[in-house]
């Protein structure tokens, strides 16, 4: 029964070492800071929608009706 106590943590340690080796050997390339032209075009196309959304969120003062009518 002692092997059950030791095998659980041992499996976790071995799995973490394997994960670290895989991450170091097969790491992805860093992403470029500048977006590709297609992505930039998509962002430019969204500009009117973002401006409209921001305009819709602004508060507008409602004119008060004169009393006594």
Gyration radius of the chain's alpha carbons: 30
* Per-residue pLDDT, 36: 64
* Per-residue pLDDT, 21: 95
Q: Residue 46: is its pLDDT beyond 90?
A: no
pLDDT band for position 68 (cuts 50, 70, 90): low
What does the alpha-carbon distance between residue 23 and residue 20 come to, in Å, rounded to a whole number?
A: 5
What does the alpha-carbon distance between residue 62 and residue 55 come to, in Å, rounded to a whole number?
A: 16
Question: The whole model's pTM is what?
Answer: 0.42
Q: Are 43 and 35 within 8 A, CB to CB?
A: yes
pLDDT band for position 69 (cuts 50, 70, 90): low
What does the alpha-carbon distance between residue 68 and residue 46 come to, in Å, rounded to a whole number?
A: 48
């Amino acid at each position: 029964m002692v092997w059950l106590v030791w095998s659980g943590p041992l499996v976790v340690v071995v799995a973490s070492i394997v994960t670290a080796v895989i991450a170091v050997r097969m790491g992805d390339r860093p992403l470029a800071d500048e977006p590709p032209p297609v992505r930039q075009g998509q962002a430019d196309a969204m500009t009117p929608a973002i401006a409209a959304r921001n305009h819709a969120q602004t508060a507008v003062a409602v004119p008060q009706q004169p009393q006594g009518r």
